[in-house]
Amino acid sequence: MASLTRAALGLTLADGVSVCSRSGPGSRLGLHEGSAGLAAAEIIAPAGAVLSPESARAVLQHAAIGFLAFGNQAAQPDLDALAPILDMAITAQGGFMAACFAHPAYGRTVFQGHLFQYGRLVANLVHALSERLAGRVALIAHDIVAAGPAAIRARLTAAREQGVALALVDAVDAAPQSAIRDAIGAQPLIGGPAWLLPESQEADSTRPPAADARTVILSGALDRQTLFQLGAAAPKLPLLQLDPAASDALPAARAWAAAQTAPTIVISTSAPPDKLALASNGGANALLAAVAAELAEAGWHRFVLNGNDTAGAILARLGVTMLNTGAPAAGLRWLHTDCYSFLLKPGGFGGRDLFLDGFAPQIRLNGTAE
């Protein structure tokens, strides 16, 4: 692996994928329940929707985790689900964590320990986590962050010496991200979105997906940005909108895909709010997983999976437990097995024309080559 120097554990599949997008080519993402396969993976994410305390305990008993990834998607982290994982990670890795909950790219900021989503107050993190964690919680407030990396490091050192378990770092926008990243980089345990990690600058020498491979976009995400992206793609790409409640949905998808000749097609159960109840039932992801299995059998091996739960269901159906990180594309990275290539897109990620860019691998040279 290239620049990822610490093993990472994701709260969700999207968190693991986001770490892959920051890491160098050749890193391995292991999808697990319990401790199976941990020795082979530098990045670990749950095979299910959210990391369970039982799985986290198994991971922390078998792997030295330096980064706990959470908050890498449009929905803010569930504090009730996250708190026991934080407690276990802090206890297992030396008793102290530096963390930031902000992800400005998703409209999530933190000021004076208060979490905002697109300007709406979500939680007082210091208060909420103090109630949920066994150890003390301290704040590295905006004025300290604005003073730069040295001031942040000094406050982190003081917090650790005073017996604090979790130090929360303010970030009111994207401007202080570099300073925060520099300041906390030496901490043995870091928590938050993947932007807290340095981005790999190494050359991408891993194999891209085959240039002539056909691509199917399978979309089950329900966020507004995904619907916007699908709307932009619909006039230009063959798109099949499936009704998960229809008894013939699977054979209809099979027949429709077989009739397409375009290099990229879209099959979707994503739906606007007035159809949310229909699209959000458990059958939608199961249907897309069945569609993926049939397409794989028919020779499709390049998949763009849109939505965390959708991706988890499809990977499980295809029996995928280990993914190798490949070339960057569209702000993400291709992930490979011996049989398949995947681009896993979290809900809320990307611009309007994301589905229209062809997901071509972007060859990035290192500093020496440049």
CB 267 within 8 A of CB 298: no
What's the pLDDT tens digit per position in 33-58? 654 555 678 899 998 778 999 889 98
* pLDDT for position 335: 94
Torsion angles phi and psi, residue 128, rounded to 5: -65, -40
Residue ranges, CATH 3.40.980.20, the chain: 215-356
Per cent of the chain over pLDDT 70 is: 87
Q: Domain 215-356 - what CATH class? A: alpha beta
What's the pLDDT tens digit per position in 65-93? 999 999 998 888 999 999 999 999 999 99
pLDDT at 4 over 50: no
* pLDDT for position 195: 96
Residue ranges, CATH 3.40.50.10840, the chain: 7-196
Among 2-6, 105-109, 212-216, 276-280, whose mean pLDDT is lowest?
2-6
> Which of 32-41, 308-317, 323-332 shows the highest mean pLDDT?
308-317
**Superfamily holding 7-196:** Putative sugar-binding, N-terminal domain (3.40.50.10840)
pLDDT at 105 over 60: yes
pLDDT at 136 over 50: yes
Task: Record the tokens describing residue 21, joined without a space.
Answer: 């997008």
Per cent of the chain over pLDDT 90 is: 68
* pLDDT for position 219: 95
Q: Distance between CA 35 and CA 42 in Å, rounded? A: 13
